[in-house]
Amino acid sequence: MSHGGPDDSGIYINEKLQLALGHRRLSLLDLSPSGHQPMFTNDKNVVICFNGEIYNFKEIKRQLEEKGYNFFSSGDTEVILNAYKEWGEKAFTLFNGMFAFALVDLTNNLFFLVRDPSGIKPLYYSHQENSLFFSSEIRGFMKTGLFQENEKWKILFLTFGFIPEPYTSLKDVFMLPKGHYYKYDLDKRQGRFEQYYSYQYTHKIKDKEEAVFKIRETLDTAIRRHLISDAPLGIFLSGGIDSSIIALAAGSELKENLRSLSVIFDEPGYSEKKYQQMVLEKLNNKHQFYKVDKSIFIKSLPDILNALDQPSIDAVNTYFISQCAKDEGLKAVLSGLGADELLGGYPSFNRIQNLQWLKKMPSVFFDLIQYSGIAQKDKFKKLNFLKIEDDLGLYLTLRGMYLPQTVASILDISLKEVLQTLESCYLGDALSLRNHKNTASWMETNIYMQNQLLKDSDFMSMWHSIEVRVPFLDKEFIELALSIDPSVKFNGRPKSLLIEAYKDVLPEGIWNRPKQGFTFPFQLWFKDSGVISEFLDSKSPAKKALAQQFLKGDLHWTRLWSLYLTDHWGKSC
């Protein structure tokens, strides 16, 4: 795990309590030896291993200093320690940031695993008999040789394109729920989960002008917080609305000290350089363009496979972005992730109402679609997901990968086994929200972003010793977004409030164009990779047929990539 923490390492062992902590450090605040972990309080009664950032640590530190606390370091880790010492478990509610940490209270022989309210940083655990294991990466468990493969992970992965929380590729290894902590009694060897924070939809703001003003004010403040660093930091500029706003807001703070980078391509229709230049014309900063081509992609495939801590269909682009940041000498990069989910940037916000209506149709309706000519188109085939109960069927109709019948065929297992696995999944209750667009927002935030985008960002950035920061997921900004009435928040074009809030600085060419996600030419590049040839020669009729569909242009590259990962992921871990 040294790739994620190349700057320092430390181990703490307490034989009496049969406890061991290990830490690898990526130094961003307090680069001196004072930031070494595991870190203790001055009285040696509390010890911590901490991964992430507490963006409001300076405010909390001032409160603690007023209470008489002295600090030997200038970073945020010691603030967590003393905050716990002063307020106990209530301290966890005070932190605004992305974090996962293990904290030991040596006075009361208590052990805590704590994860941030948005689930930005991962934290895995396994409680078996009298033993508790934890790690920020699944490969930490795999290296021990003590854990068996989860026999259901391939079903979940081929259906979702990721393994949804709390499940993992390993049996009895789970992700700690976001906004929760696990409190473990080291004497009794027993533990329990506690939810210390959850976001709520309140709909308090019903005036558009108020919403626009507060979005600008709150996001500007969040971006300033996320710029705090003692190590080189930059902005990834894709050319879209979200990263452009972050770059422009950061530029007003850092001026010529702002560093930014962009990825470009030779293939027409993919490079966003035209739009990136529009933003750069407003900034007087150091910017670097990085070109990624097919040969670089094919050469990188083995390392991409190794970098994936868990299988995912959508992490390849993040791999190259993180690699470019590392080559530029950066330690942290700000990303626009989160705006689409909170403020209505995806097509799902317009599709969800019709799907909710269709979900009420009798099962025979979907059977008719399945066996009619209309079902030859993938988007109509996916309506069959609506037969699955609750939110799960709705989400999979929007973003699912392979239908249960296809998953069964690929894995050569029964359809019953696939359906039983899916029916055992509970990912939340979005349907309890009265507004359909809030339902879409909940699903995009708590299923798609949570399990796909945030995991991908962490896997690939940590592989390159880079930290990705996400200002749109600042605690106060999320609370604001959820407090805006949906009739105001989702009125007009996608992310209309965000655009209105920054219209005075955001070039019209950036926001007044059809939405195009930042995509790589993978559909073209995969045709010349060894991935496709492997499946064309496959003994599996299902895999061979899917590979042929890909060559005809009838199968998205992510589905081909998912087949490859199903066969190859984890073999070299």
DSSP string, 432-451: GSSSHHHHHHHHIIIIIIII
Condensed to tens digits (0 to 9), the pLDDT of residues 507-558 reads: 999 998 876 655 788 888 888 887 888 888 888 999 999 999 999 988 999 9
So what's the pLDDT on residue 374?
Answer: 43
**Nearest-5° angle of CA 231, CA 235, CA 240?**
170
Let me know if residue 553 belongs to a domain. Answer: no
In sequence order, what DSSP letters do the residues of 58-76 get, joined into one string? HHHHHHHHHTT---S-SSS
SS3 12: strand
User: Virtual CA dihedral for 395, 399, 404, 407, nearest 10 degrees?
Assistant: -150
User: How far is C-alpha 144 from the chain's CA centre?
Assistant: 26
So what's the pLDDT on residue 510?
Answer: 93
Q: Edge-to-edge strand order for the sheet containing 190-195? A: 39-40, 46-54, 97-105, 110-115, 180-185, 190-195
Let me know if residue 440 belongs to a domain. Answer: no
My answer on whether 27 and 135 are in the same domain is yes
Say how many C-beta atoms besides its own lie within 10 A of residue 73's C-beta: 17
SS3 247: helix
My answer on whether 191 and 230 are in the same domain is no
Let me know if residue 565 belongs to a domain. Answer: no
So what's the pLDDT on residue 530?
Answer: 79
Of 308, 318, 242, nearest in space to 522 by CA? 318
My answer on whether 265 and 178 are in the same domain is no
Let me know if residue 543 belongs to a domain. Answer: no
Ranges in the chain, pLDDT < 50: 373-376, 573
So what's the pLDDT on residue 518?
Answer: 59
562 is in an annotated binding site: no
CA contacts within 13 A on the Cβ side of 288: 16
My answer on whether 334 and 271 are in the same domain is yes
Amino acid of residue 327: D
My answer on whether 140 and 58 are in the same domain is yes
Q: Per the structure, how many domains does the chain have?
A: 2
Let me know if residue 406 belongs to a domain. Answer: no
* 3-state helix vs strand vs coil in the chain, percent to 5: 50, 15, 35
Q: Which of 512, 533, 554 is the last residue of a domain?
A: 512
My answer on whether 101 and 126 are in the same domain is yes
User: How far is C-alpha 306 from the chain's CA centre?
Assistant: 18
Of 243, 265, 235, nearest in space to 524 by CA? 265
My answer on whether 189 and 212 are in the same domain is no
Let me know if residue 508 belongs to a domain. Answer: yes
Give the domain extent around 261: 208-291+314-344+455-512
76 is in an annotated binding site: yes
Let me know if residue 381 belongs to a domain. Answer: no
Q: Which of 195, 217, 251 is the last residue of a domain?
A: 195
My answer on whether 115 and 260 are in the same domain is no
266 is in an annotated binding site: no
Tokens matching residue 229:
């660093």
Q: Which of 161, 195, 229 is the last residue of a domain?
A: 195
Q: With contact defined as beta carbons under 8 Å apart, do 444 and 338 qualify? A: no
Residues 229, 257: Cα–Cα separation, whole Å? 13
My answer on whether 127 and 263 are in the same domain is no
Residues 74, 92: Cα–Cα separation, whole Å? 20
So what's the pLDDT on residue 426?
Answer: 80
My answer on whether 248 and 323 are in the same domain is yes
Identify the CATH number of the domain in which residue 155 sits: 3.60.20.10
My answer on whether 100 and 38 are in the same domain is yes
Identify the CATH number of the domain in which residue 329 sits: 3.40.50.620
263 is in an annotated binding site: yes
Tokens matching residue 201:
């939809």
Residue with tokens 């600042």: 474
My answer on whether 138 and 276 are in the same domain is no
- Please provide the size of the chain in residues: 573
Condensed to tens digits (0 to 9), the pLDDT of residues 33-83 reads: 788 879 999 999 999 999 999 999 999 999 999 999 999 998 999 999 999
Is the entire prediction scored with pTM above 0.85?
Answer: yes
Let me know if residue 72 belongs to a domain. Answer: yes
